[in-house]
Amino acid sequence: MLHREDETGLILIGQPAHAWVSGQLARAWGNERFGRFEPWEEVCLAAEQHDIGMAAWDAAPELNEASGLPYSFRELPRRTHLALWASAARLVLPQSRYAALLISLHGIGLYEPDDQPDVARSDDPTVLEYLAGQHAFKDELLASLRTDHCYSPYALPDVIARNRRLVARFDGISLALCHALRFEHAHEGVPTADGEATITATPAGDDPSEYVIDPWPFGEDALTLVYEGRLLEGTFTDEETMRDAIGRAPWLVLETRLWPA
């Protein structure tokens, strides 16, 4: 669950809603500089479903007694986070092996970042068990995809690496936009048609729903993202009371508009 501070109060945005925004970014992606990606539908599906493991938890979140609010995704106890991510890729598997592969790789990257080789690897047994399970699952899917004539061209290491990086960048950009950050934020290592670029999102004046994006990675001249959240008032000492309050909290339809520099 994502916590967004707003002048009206605290807006709760579910992780699947944030992932929906990731999917919207994916479906709008691509131009002469940034190129396209293949397989298109499968990568878009991975982007919009990458947080599916959080869906049941977000529907009945746990109380963070320290804050009196539901845990945000950044505050989740490690064991809870690992358990949720351990299920994510398998939940998508009935839809698509390729999307499940990208989601598994994305989950691996949260604890074993492929683009940060200097990050110390955890020696936590629960993390190591999670990673071992995901690597085994990933290897099983790769073996299946590489012998499938439909998917073998997209199971090549460089194609998978690019698609994995794209899903991660869709995720990062979406998180920043859903938080309505009021400062310029950069997203490094974004794949282009022939290399990488750093994309910068800059708030457009005082409007928390508008950003200028440079360089522009989308096919259209402007992009409007739509998603939903709930406005929660107060803090809580009892989990059931908190869940009841969330269930009664008013829904908000949120929009974020993106413009080229």
Domain that residue 200 falls in: 2-260
Each residue's pLDDT tens digit, 34-51 = 999 999 999 999 999 999
194 backbone dihedrals φ, ψ, rounded to 5°:
-140, 20
| pLDDT tens per residue, range 157-182 | 999 999 999 999 999 999 999 999 99
Sheet holding 9-13, edge to edge: 2-6, 9-13, 223-232, 251-260, 210-214, 196-203, 185-191
| Dihedral, CA of residue 186, residue 135, residue 17 and residue 49, to nearest 10 | 110
Q: Provide the domain count of the chain.
A: 1
H or E segment to which residue 186 belongs = strand 185-191
Residues in the chain: 261
If pLDDT is split at 50, 70 and 90, which confidence band does 28 have? very high
